[in-house]
C-alpha cells in the first residue's frame, strides 16, 4: 500500500515556494505522530512523508491512502487539501489534535477522520483501506500506544 502522510501547518509556519523554511532550523523535527506510525508500517507498505513547514504538498495521484495530521490552528490547510482531492478516489484520513478536539458533527469536507490516537486504530484503518471501505469516523483511545522508533 502506498501511503502519503502530510504534516500540515498553520499559515505562519507554512512553506512558501521560493522562500526559506519557516521557524528555527533546529526546531524543524519530523512530526512525532507520523514518525511513530512509520515504525509500524510494514515492509510491504511504502510511507512517504511531506511536511508543509519545509515543502509544498505535491501529490502524484498514485497514493492508496493520504493521512493528514492536523495540528491546532491548521484547519485552513486541512480544508485546502480536502478541496484539492475532492474529485479523486484517493481516501483522505484526517487525524491529530485539531481533529480530536473538533465538535460533532465533523465539517462536510472532512469525510474520514480519527478521533484519538491514530496508532490505536492503525490496523483497522489499514484493513479498511485495502478492502475499500474506509469508515467515516474511527474512535480510538487518546492515550498513545508505545511504538519503537528506528
Q: What is the pLDDT of residue 56?
A: 79
What does the pLDDT look like over 119-132, one tens digit per residue? 999 999 999 999 99
Cell numbers at 36, concatenated: 511513530
Cα–Cα distance for residue pair 107/146, rounded to 1 Å: 31
Question: Do 47 and 37 form a contact (C-beta atoms < 8 A)?
Answer: yes
Q: Which three cell numbers stand for residue 142?
A: 487518546
Q: Is the pTM of this model over 0.85?
A: yes
Helices (H) and strands (E) in the chain, counts: 4, 6
pLDDT in tens, 52-71: 888 778 888 889 999 999 99
The DSSP result for 96-112, as a single string, is SHHHHHSPSSPPTT--E
What local confidence, expressed as pLDDT, does residue 126 receive?
95
Q: Yes or no: say if 63 and 2 are a contact pair by the CB < 8 Å rule.
A: yes
Amino acid at each position: 500500500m502506498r501511503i502519503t502522510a502530510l504534516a500540515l501547518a498553520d499559515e505562519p509556519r507554512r512553506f512558501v515556494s521560493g522562500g526559506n523554511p519557516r521557524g528555527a532550523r533546529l526546531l524543524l523535527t519530523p512530526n512525532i505522530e507520523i514518525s511513530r506510525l512509520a515504525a509500524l508500517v510494514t515492509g510491504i507498505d511504502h510511507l512517504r512523508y511531506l511536511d508543509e513547514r519545509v515543502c509544498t504538498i505535491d501529490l502524484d495521484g498514485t497514493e492508496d491512502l493520504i493521512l493528514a495530521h492536523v495540528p491546532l490552528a491548521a484547519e485552513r490547510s486541512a480544508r485546502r487539501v480536502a478541496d484539492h482531492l475532492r474529485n479523486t478516489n484517493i481516501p483522505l484520513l484526517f487525524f491529530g489534535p485539531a481533529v480530536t478536539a473538533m465538535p460533532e458533527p465533523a465539517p462536510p469536507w472532512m469525510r474520514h477522520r480519527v478521533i484519538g490516537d491514530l496508532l490505536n486504530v492503525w490496523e483497522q484503518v489499514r484493513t479498511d483501506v485495502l478492502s475499500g471501505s474506509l469508515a467515516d469516523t474511527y474512535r480510538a483511545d487518546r492515550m498513545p500506544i508505545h511504538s519503537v522508533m528506528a
